[in-house]
């Protein structure tokens, strides 16, 4: 059955959605989180931000993050498998299941240079029980700020026959080197937007969310997969020990570099917790915003709709 998210815009659904998904009055918890966020922001001077636990100038962060991913591009898949014991593949499979694309989907995958999400999108359409409709074209744009990551994705697509598979389901694929905060794309040009393990690396996540809202059509869906915060105290302590003691060492042994993976674990701790990020998504204009924790909150899937 076709997903209502990606079907044609329905005014009746739109009105009902506004009724049930409109902005709520600020709860005491929301006020406390806002105050805490403002306190955290005040730790930085004007024009400063964080790069892991390091204070840097805002204009420096993007180049530092760019260098991190340039350095790890060739070993990206190998390290993802090692760090997560292969579970990252399951997370991404669940992520695509939550999107549940139908024929006629135009997807923008941001920060997806290596193709993990886009390839799953094509595979999902391949496995769909609904026959390909020649009158409904599919499309995915794979966007990344780092050309090294895009080149890895292009090689993987060629090696795995992804482009041929995409053609069989009437899906076009293109690659775009672009900043998630300033997308060179028209308004309302996609009906699905995904971003996986990327937004925490951006200097201004709120600008990324605003751009996501801008490029989505009314009725379009925003879906984000990101490392998040483990809520159980004991599990969080164990996760912290693994993150800070083992992951950088693993990076040195497997990829010959520990610093990018030290940044990785620090950047996760700097990223907003689930409820706070949910409020940021709502502030960008999205409605019916929700999140789903995976593995006790090690990662979370955040969802919202442009209504």
Structure tokens at 54: 């390091």
2 is in an annotated binding site: no
Q: Are 24 and 17 in contact (CB under 8 A)?
A: no
- What's the rounded Cα separation, in Å, for the pair 52 and 263? 5
Name the one residue in this structure whose structure tokens are 């937004």: 199
Task: Please count the other Cβ atoms lying within 10 Å of the Cβ belonging to residue 29.
Answer: 10
Enter the tokens of residue 280.
């940021």
The answer on whether 144 is annotated among ligand-binding residues is yes
Dump the DSSP string for 272-307: PPHHHHHHHHHHTT-EEEEEEEEGGGTEEEEEEE--
Is residue 109 a known part of a binding site?
no
To the question of whether residue 81 is assigned a binding role by annotation, the answer is no
Strand ranges across the sheet with 106-110: 171-177, 138-144, 106-110, 190-196, 216-227, 299-305, 287-294
8 Å CB contact between 162 and 195: no
Collapsed DSSP state (helix, strand, coil) of residue 193: strand
Secondary structure element (H or E) that encloses residue 255, with its range: helix 247-255
Dist. CA 130–CA 293, nearest whole Å: 30
Task: Specify binding-site residues for S-adenosyl-L-methionine.
Answer: 114, 144, 179-180
Task: Specify binding-site residues.
Answer: 114, 144, 179-180
């Amino acid at each position: 059955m076709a997903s209502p998210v990606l079907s044609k815009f329905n005014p009746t659904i739109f009105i009902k959605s506004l009724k049930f998904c409109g902005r709520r009055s600020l709860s005491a918890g929301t006020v406390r989180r806002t105050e805490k966020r403002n306190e955290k922001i005040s730790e930085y001077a004007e024009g400063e931000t964080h790069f892991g636990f390091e204070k840097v100038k805002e204009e420096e962060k993007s180049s530092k993050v760019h260098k991190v991913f340039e350095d790890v591009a060739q070993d990206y898949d190998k390290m993802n498998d090692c760090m997560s014991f292969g579970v990252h593949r399951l997370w991404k499979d669940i992520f695509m299941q939550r999107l549940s694309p139908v024929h006629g989907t135009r997807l923008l995958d941001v920060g997806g240079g290596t193709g993990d999400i886009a390839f799953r999108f094509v595979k999902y359409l391949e496995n769909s029980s609904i026959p390909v409709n020649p009158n409904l074209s599919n499309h995915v744009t794979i966007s990344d700020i780092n050309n090294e990551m895009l080149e890895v994705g292009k090689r993987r697509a060629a090696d795995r026959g992804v482009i041929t598979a995409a053609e069989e389901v009437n899906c076009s694929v293109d690659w775009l080197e672009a900043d998630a905060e300033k997308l060179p794309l028209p308004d309302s040009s996609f009906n699905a937007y995904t971003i996986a393990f990327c937004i925490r690396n951006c200097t201004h996540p709120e600008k990324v969310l605003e751009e996501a809202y801008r490029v989505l059509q009314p009725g379009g869906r925003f879906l984000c997969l990101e490392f998040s915060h483990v809520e159980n105290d004991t599990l969080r302590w164990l996760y912290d020990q693994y993150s800070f003691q083992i992951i950088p060492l693993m990076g040195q042994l497997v990829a010959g570099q520990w610093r990018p993976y030290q940044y990785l674990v620090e950047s996760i701790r700097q990223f907003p917790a689930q409820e706070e990020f949910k409020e940021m998504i709502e502030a960008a204009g999205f409605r019916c915003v929700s999140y789903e924790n995976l593995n006790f909150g090690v990662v979370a899937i955040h969802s919202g709709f442009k209504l």
